[in-house]
C-alpha cells in the first residue's frame, strides 16, 4: 500500500522523559483504548491491535479481523485506527506507560530504531522451527530479508510496495510507437518519453511522456544500493548512485529545455542558471498537477504517458478507471544495471514490549499474513490489493482467480521474486536517513546542487548525525 513520508525519529531521551510521567501516560493510553469497540465474546482474551489504515483499506482490514475472530475461540482482536501523525508517538507513550497494544501495523521505516531502543520485541522467539523454515524459504526475498535487526526478526511484513512502469498503449499509438515493443533499457525508455510529450499552444508542457521522480526508485536500476549487508555499512555516495541521480536530473533538464524553447525562451545548459531555469519549468508542471487519489491520478487523465509507481495503483485503476487501457512492465535496467530491480517500502507488524497478550497477537499475525494457512490469507490479500507475504498464497486457486481479473498485477509478482530489491537500510536512524535522502533529491532536482554535491551532502549529514548520536549515547 502507499505509505506517507515518515516523520522525525523520536529520541530515546523522549521515551525516558515520558516514562517519568507514568500516571499521565497511563491515562492517555487508557483513553486511547476506550475508543476501541466494546463488543466482546465471553471467555476470550482481548488482543489490542493498532493500525493506521483508512480510506479504501479500512473495510478490508475490519473484514480480516472479523474473519480471524470467527475462526477460533480463544482470542478477540480489537482493532483501533490511529492517524498517521499520531501513530508513532502514541506507541512510544503507551510502551513508556506500561500499557501498549499487543500488535501494531506500522509503515514508518523505523523498526531498527525501535528494536535498538527496546520499544518492540523480537518475533522469531515465537516461531516454531517449521514456521521459521517456511518463512525463510517461501517468503518473497524482500520479505525474508526485511524486519531484522542484529540477527533477530522484529517486524514481519504485511504489505510491501514495489515499483514498475505503468504505460498507456493509446498514447504510444498516437505517437506512432508500437506498444508491444517496450524499450530494453532505461535510457531508451527515457528517450521514448520525448516522443510522447505534448505542449500547448503557448509552449507549456501538457503531457510528460516520462518524468523521473524519487531517487530510491532509480538507484537499484543502476546496480546501486544504500546499504551493504555484508559489511553493515551505508553506501550512499557511490558511482552507481551518482549515475542514478545524474540520469534523473539530465532527463528533467532536457524536458525543461524543450518546454522553454517552445515558450520562446531558450536557455543554455552550459550555465548553472540555464539548468536551474529548465528544472524549475518541470517543477512548475508537477506543481500544477491534480492530486493522485482516486480518479485524479495524472496517469488516468493522460498527463503522464509512462510513470513508475506502486502496486496499489492497480486497484485504484480498477475502481476509478475500469475502462482505461494500460499495461505494466518491470522497469528496464539502466545500461550495465540490474534487471527486475526495484525499491520496496515495507509495512510491518510489530509487537511492542510489554504486550499483555503476545500469544494472541502472534496467532492473529500468522492468520492475516498466511504464515499458518497461506491459502486462507490468499483470499484476503485481494481485498486490500496488497502483495502476499508467501509464494504459497500466490499459488492458491483463489488468488490466481483474482489475478485473472487484474493481469497487470502479475508484473509486481514477477519483480517480487527478484533478489534485486533495495529496502530502507536497517540502521537505528532510518527516518533521519530517508528524510535526508528526500532532501538531497529535491536539491538536485531544482539544480541547487549537482548530483555529486548532493550525495556528498547526504554523506556529511549522516556523519554529523552519527556524531550527535554518539555524543548522546544513542545506538549507531
- At 394 the pLDDT is 96
Average the pLDDT over 422-437 and give the result.
Answer: 90
Domain annotation covers residue 329: yes
287 pLDDT above the threshold of 90: yes
- CATH number for the domain including 133? 3.40.190.10
349, 442: one domain:
no
**CA 252/CA 283 separation, integer angstroms:** 9
**CA 309/CA 291 separation, integer angstroms:** 14
Percent of the chain with pLDDT over 90: 78
110 pLDDT above the threshold of 80: no
Domain annotation covers residue 419: no
28 pLDDT above the threshold of 90: no
Cell of 317: 485503476
Average the pLDDT over 288-296 and give the result.
Answer: 91
In terms of Cβ atoms closer than 10 Å to its own Cβ (0-12, 13-18, 19+), residue 25 is buried
Average the pLDDT over 452-472 and give the result.
Answer: 95
46 pLDDT above the threshold of 70: yes
Domain annotation covers residue 393: yes
Average the pLDDT over 27-35 and give the result.
Answer: 38
> How many structural domains is the chain composed of?
2
pLDDT category, 39, cuts 50, 70, 90? Answer: low
290, 184: one domain:
yes
109, 176: one domain:
no
- At 88 the pLDDT is 84
Cell of 228: 551493504
pLDDT category, 20, cuts 50, 70, 90? Answer: very low
315, 446: one domain:
yes
Domain annotation covers residue 225: yes
Domain annotation covers residue 7: no
Q: For 61-97, how does the pLDDT look when each residue is reduced to its tens digit (9 = 90+)?
A: 999 999 999 999 999 999 999 987 788 889 989 999 9
- At 451 the pLDDT is 98
Instruction: Answer with the residue of higher pLDDT: 2 or 402.
Output: 402
Query: At a CB cut-off of 8 Å and minimum separation 6, what does 131 contact?
Result: 366, 371
168, 215: one domain:
yes
Domain annotation covers residue 411: no
pLDDT category, 282, cuts 50, 70, 90? Answer: very high
206, 300: one domain:
yes
328, 443: one domain:
yes
Of 20-29, 282-291, 428-437, 458-467, give the lowest mean pLDDT range: 20-29
174, 115: one domain:
no
**CA 360/CA 44 separation, integer angstroms:** 10
C-alpha 58 chain-centroid distance: 18
Q: For 151-161, how does the pLDDT look when each residue is reduced to its tens digit (9 = 90+)?
A: 999 999 998 99
- At 37 the pLDDT is 46
Average the pLDDT over 381-408 and give the result.
Answer: 94
228, 302: one domain:
yes
422 pLDDT above the threshold of 70: yes
Domain annotation covers residue 413: no
Q: For 160-208, how does the pLDDT look when each residue is reduced to its tens digit (9 = 90+)?
A: 999 999 999 999 999 999 999 999 999 999 999 999 999 999 999 999 9
310, 226: one domain:
yes
Look over the chain and give the mean of its residue pLDDT values, rounded to a whole number. Answer: 89
Cell of 432: 533521519
Asked if residues 351 and 150 have their Cβ atoms less than 8 Å apart, the reply is no
- At 40 the pLDDT is 65
Domain annotation covers residue 75: yes
Asked whether the CA dihedral 113, 116, 121, 126 is positive or negative, the reply is positive
What angle (nearest 5°) sits at the alpha carbon of residue 89, between those of residues 154 and 120? 20
Range of the domain at 139: 12-160+345-405
Q: Examine the fold and report which residue of 368, 389, 405 is the final residue of a domain before the chain moves on.
A: 405
307, 392: one domain:
no
**Cα dist. 244→296, 435, 448, 453 in Å?**
29, 18, 17, 14
150, 175: one domain:
no
Amino acid at each position: 500500500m502507499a505509505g506517507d513520508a515518515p516523520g522525525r525519529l523520536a529520541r530515546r531521551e523522549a521515551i525516558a522523559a515520558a516514562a517519568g510521567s507514568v500516571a499521565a501516560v497511563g491515562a492517555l493510553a487508557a483513553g486511547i483504548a476506550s475508543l476501541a469497540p466494546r463488543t466482546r465474546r465471553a471467555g476470550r482474551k482481548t488482543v489490542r491491535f493498532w493500525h493506521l489504515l483508512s480510506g479504501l483499506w479500512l473495510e478490508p482490514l475490519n473484514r480480516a479481523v472479523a474473519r480471524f475472530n470467527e475462526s477460533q475461540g480463544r482470542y478477540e482482536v480489537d482493532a483501533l485506527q490511529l492517524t498517521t501523525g499520531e501513530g508513532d508517538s502514541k506507541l512510544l507513550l503507551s510502551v513508556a506507560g506500561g500499557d501498549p497494544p499487543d500488535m501494531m501495523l506500522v509503515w514508518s521505516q523505523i523498526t531498527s530504531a525501535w528494536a535498538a531502543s527496546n520499544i518492540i520485541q523480537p518475533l522469531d522467539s515465537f516461531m516454531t522451527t517449521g514456521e521459521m523454515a517456511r518463512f525463510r524459504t517461501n517468503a518473497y526475498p524482500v520479505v525474508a530479508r526485511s524486519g531484522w535487526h542484529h540477527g533477530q526478526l522484529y517486524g514481519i511484513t504485511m504489505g510491501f510496495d514495489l515499483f514498475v512502469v505503468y504505460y498507456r498503449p493509446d498514447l504510444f499509438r498516437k505517437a506512432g510507437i508500437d506498444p508491444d515493443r517496450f524499450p530494453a533499457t532505461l535510457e531508451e525508455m527515457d528517450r521514448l518519453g520525448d516522443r510522447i510529450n505534448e505542449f500547448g499552444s503557448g509552449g507549456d508542457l501538457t503531457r510528460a511522456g516520462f518524468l523521473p521522480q524519487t531517487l530510491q526508485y532509480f538507484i537499484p536500476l543502476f546496480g546501486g544500493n544504500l546499504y551493504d549487508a555484508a559489511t553493515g555499512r551505508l553506501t550512499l555516495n557511490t558511482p552507481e548512485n551518482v549515475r542514478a541521480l545524474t540520469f534523473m536530473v539530465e532527463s528533467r533538464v532536457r524536458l525543461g529545455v524543450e518546454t522553454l524553447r517552445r515558450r520562446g525562451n531558450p536557455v543554455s545548459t552550459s550555465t548553472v542558471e540555464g539548468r536551474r531555469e529548465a528544472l524549475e519549468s518541470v517543477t512548475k508542471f508537477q506543481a500544477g498537477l491534480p492530486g493522485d487519489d482516486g480518479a485524479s491520478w495524472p496517469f488516468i487523465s493522460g498527463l503522464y504517458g509512462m510513470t513508475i509507481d506502486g502496486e496499489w495503483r492497480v486497484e485504484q485503476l480498477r475502481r476509478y478507471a475500469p475502462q482505461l487501457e494500460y499495461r505494466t512492465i518491470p522497469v528496464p535496467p539502466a545500461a550495465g544495471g540490474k534487471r527486475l530491480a526495484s525499491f520496496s517500502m515495507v509495512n510491518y507488524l510489530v509487537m511492542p514490549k510489554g504486550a499483555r497478550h503476545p500469544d494472541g497477537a502472534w496467532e492473529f499475525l500468522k492468520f492475516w499474513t498466511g504464515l499458518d494457512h497461506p491459502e486462507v490469507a490468499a483470499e484476503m490479500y485481494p481485498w486490500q490489493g496488497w502483495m502476499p507475504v508467501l509464494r504459497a498464497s500466490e499459488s492458491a486457486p483463489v488468488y490466481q482467480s483474482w489475478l485473472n481479473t487484474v493481469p497487470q498485477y502479475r508484473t509486481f509478482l514477477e519483480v517480487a521474486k527478484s533478489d534485486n530489491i533495495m529496502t530502507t537500510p536497517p540502521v537505528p536512524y532510518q527516518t533521519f536517513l530517508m528524510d535526508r535522502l528526500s532532501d538531497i533529491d529535491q536539491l538536485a532536482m531544482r539544480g541547487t546542487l549537482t548530483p555529486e554535491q548532493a550525495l556528498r551532502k547526504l554523506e556529511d549529514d549522516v556523519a554529523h548525525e552519527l556524531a550527535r548520536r554518539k555524543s548522546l549515547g544513542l545506538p549507531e
